[in-house]
Structure 1
Amino acid sequence: MEANISVTASPFIQDLVGNILEKLRICAMPTFLQLIQGLIIIKKNPNVLTTDMHFGTVPVRLFKPKKVSCEPRRGIIIYHGGGAVIGSLDCYHGLGSYLASETDSVVLMVGYCKLPAYHHPILVNDCLNASIYFLKNLESFGVDSSRLVLCGESIGGWAVANVIQVLVSTPTLPRIQAQVLIQPILNFINFQLPSHQQSQYVPFLTRDIMFTCICKYLDIDLSWKDAILTGAVIPLDKWKKYRKWLSYENIPRKFWSQDLQPEFFATFNEAAYLETKHVWSPEISPVLADDKIIAQLPKTFLVSCEHDILRDDALLYKKRLEDQSVPVSWYHVEDGFHGCLMFFEWKFLSFPCSVNIVDSVVSYIKSI
């Protein structure tokens, strides 16, 4: 496993300095965090050939085992995390290299456009366009069209859920055999789920950070934050229609804490709803996709972490898929927290949960 990515400051210090600079109007937090990423040092895996290129305007990085193979290899497409603010090909270089080496696969990592310059739907469009180009040229990359995996973490998992819904409706392209969603965000509507109550202050994704990223990416004014949090943006007719997929009643009881507050929405605010109603689109909240789309999805591997505000999004999606008879494998990390995957190879920030997640993903992919 590679272990040579280092930065000059811990994520806690980066966050603190970034907030100070933003309050002083010296530099926006997203810009500061993106500058910090430039300090990352990468050590290449001697067993993996890495190639940077562009598919159109989208930067991608291809990882391929140097060992010669007589047969086409499995293909893995990865969308990294980072809340559309941070995260990059360099930040997740170790993950791509490790997956290529350990699963003997050709790995394509997509470097999509992010905040503050770009907003929805650029992230998904970049991921979709890069993936389609790759799928149309598998032979030139030495990839077996019958062994394809789509993988993403955090907002990258959200991108997977979006892209796969488009791909299953495009029969002219090779079929994805499995999707891997690691700590994904899949619901932009109900923020009263148990995990939102239990882990709202847990780093590295607190409720405030999550809402700032969501609102900035979806171009929603932050003044509507309280209306979104309290459910004042949820019309009664829509809640009646989608409650069966969005309510915390779909979360297994073992994940309910003793101090769990009841699911209670504030008085409907029509102005707030009109400003945020696009979150009801399946392109933004993938869990709302029609049954006929969900039923076509490939077998799925879901990773959730106990100390993660997004834990219950994975659980809602798990039930949604299972109700349509989609085969689901689920790996729950009791000591995991959001964003831990990015640190799996950082010696000074090594967490057992990070290694466990990567190893579980490797094990699953090797079965494809």
Structure 2
Amino acid sequence: MAVLWLLLLVGLSIFLLGVFIWAVVKHFLTAEISSSLQHPVKLRLMQCVVLFTIALGNILQKLRICSMPSFIKFLHDLRGRKKDPTLVVTNMHFGTIPVRLFQPKAVSSNLRRGIIFFHGGGALFGSLNLYHRLCSFLARETDSVLLSVGYRKLPDHHHPVIHLDCLNASIHFLKNLQTYGVDPSRVVMAGESVGGWAVATVTQALACQDKLPQIRAQVLITPILQGVNFQLPSQLQKRNVPLLTRDLMITFFCRYLNIDLSWKNAILTGACVPPDMWKKYSKWLSSDNIPQRFKGKDFSPEFLGPFNETAYLETKHVLDEKISPLLADDKIIAQLPDTFLLSCEHDILRDDTLLYKKRLEDQGVPVTWHHVEDGFHGCIIFFDNQFFSFPCSMNALNPTISYIKGI
């Protein structure tokens, strides 16, 4: 029996080593690490670990042991929740939506600022636990009451579930601000990555609501804001930069919108966009709106692929403003609250932020923009990770905190 267990252990070790070697080889064949990124070796190792864990999750899913997202969530939860003695943390449900409330313990003579936070993760990963430390830090450093929303995700839930969960949780919170000791005139909505997208769509949906407290400010951290133009400079320049590559991004995008992956190329080349639609929306989505310094010397204006009507019929819902908030009408954009936008130079989604910045400013919305020159997508989540920590994490987090404290 001991020999059998030893053979199993050796076999498992060889198998895991083989998967990791595959991840390393794939990384070095595809990844592009800019010389301006700090700690490139650390970033390469992180990307290898990500590829390794996704590969293991896919293997377990094919063996019908567990789904890949469940495996990733299990690993995330192993990190544990760091308890902050200055906060009271409460797990609740708003209907069927799990939420986590962070409240400062210190007594305050005045009502506190409120933050509604939507986490990132590409609609597939991310959880209340993974973003627990970030939410604790935001609540403590800004002396705010923070509500973190655990919206439903893939693989079981598709669009518009994230939008609806975030919208419904926000409405419930706004209707009960007094219960949580929150000042109705100082509610901030914040989110990272797909959470930033949720902020944009929910804030737009609430803009016309006159029976609820108005959102004072929105904070969008490296958000995805449109699914129409994937020929922007950052989409081409940063397509193989960890941690969000173009292939991973479009896979998340298609899965959440329930689009067959066979249409990926049509989406990326713009072949699914009718010429008349592009003519209508190009004033907002064209690379002409991107400052020259971000385009690089070799960039030429986008040329959308030959129109494919079948692809359009399969993907036309990407033109909905609930999926592409950059396409909202001017009258909606003009009603949006003060906005903080954070972009990272080494992020495939960088230009979505730049396009939204121009749209907001053109409609007179006050915008504060911070650009992290050495940042990459998702860097803010590693602000307190001992080994996988990067200077850009705090370079992204500090201005975010400063802005919120000014509300």
* Shorter-normalised TM range: over 0.9
| Mapped partners of 2:235, 2:47: distance in 1 | 22
| Mapped partners of 2:300, 2:122: distance in 1 | 27
More helix by share: 2
Partner of 1:85: 124
3-state DSSP class of the match of 1:259? coil
CA distance 1:296–1:339, change in 2 (3 Å):
same
Note the C-alpha offset of 1:21.
4.6
- Structure 1 residue 22 and structure 2 residue 61: aligned? no
Partner of 1:197: 236
- Structure 1 residue 219 and structure 2 residue 255: aligned? no
- Structure 1 residue 278 and structure 2 residue 314: aligned? no
- Structure 1 residue 242 and structure 2 residue 281: aligned? yes
Note the C-alpha offset of 1:31.
3.3
Q: Are the counterparts in 2 of residues 47 and 101 from structure 1 also a CA contact under 8 Å?
A: yes
- Structure 1 residue 160 and structure 2 residue 199: aligned? yes
For residue 84 of structure 2, the aligned residue among 31, 39, 45 is 45
Task: Give the residue type in structure 2 aligned to 1:56.
Answer: G
> What count of residue pairs does the alignment treat as equivalent?
360
| Mapped partners of 1:48, 1:297: distance in 2 | 31
For residue 318 of structure 1, the aligned residue among 332, 342, 357 is 357
- Structure 1 residue 356 and structure 2 residue 392: aligned? no
3-state DSSP class of the match of 1:347? coil
| Mapped partners of 2:256, 2:89: distance in 1 | 30
For residue 212 of structure 2, the aligned residue among 163, 166, 173 is 173
Note the C-alpha offset of 1:152.
0.5
- Structure 1 residue 254 and structure 2 residue 293: aligned? yes
Note the C-alpha offset of 1:19.
2.2
* TM-score for both structures, normalised by structure 1: 0.95
Deviations 1:26-81 (A, max 9, x none): 35533332232231211111111111111111111111111001111000100000
Partner of 1:307: 346
Note the C-alpha offset of 1:10.
5.0
CA RMSD of aligned residues (A): 1.3
Q: Are the counterparts in 1 of residues 57 and 69 from structure 2 also a CA contact under 8 Å?
A: no
| Mapped partners of 1:330, 1:107: distance in 2 | 22
Task: Give the residue type in structure 1 aligned to 2:179.
Answer: S
| Mapped partners of 1:94, 1:57: distance in 2 | 23
Note the C-alpha offset of 1:94.
1.0
Partner of 2:172: 133
Deviations 1:322-350 (A, max 9, x none): 01010000000000000101111111111
Of residues 91-100 and 237-246 in structure 1, the stretch that sits farther from structure 2 once superposed is 91-100
| Mapped partners of 1:11, 1:56: distance in 2 | 37
Q: What are the ranges of 5 or more consecutive residues in structure 1 without an aligned counterpart?
A: 1-8
Q: What are the ranges of 5 or more consecutive residues in structure 2 without an aligned counterpart?
A: 1-44
| Mapped partners of 2:70, 2:84: distance in 1 | 29
Q: Are the counterparts in 2 of residues 14 and 33 from structure 1 also a CA contact under 8 Å?
A: no
* TM-score for both structures, normalised by structure 2: 0.86
| Mapped partners of 1:232, 1:14: distance in 2 | 31
| Mapped partners of 1:201, 1:28: distance in 2 | 26
Note the C-alpha offset of 1:20.
4.8
Task: Give the residue type in structure 1 aligned to 2:400.
Answer: V
Partner of 2:269: 230
Percent sequence identity over matched residues? 62
Q: Are the counterparts in 1 of residues 219 and 340 from structure 2 also a CA contact under 8 Å?
A: yes
3-state DSSP class of the match of 1:94? helix
Q: Are the counterparts in 1 of residues 57 and 72 from structure 2 also a CA contact under 8 Å?
A: no
Q: Are the counterparts in 1 of residues 77 and 130 from structure 2 also a CA contact under 8 Å?
A: no
Q: Are the counterparts in 2 of residues 31 and 116 from structure 1 also a CA contact under 8 Å?
A: no
Deviations 1:209-264 (A, max 9, x none): 00110000000000001111111001010011110000011000000112224311
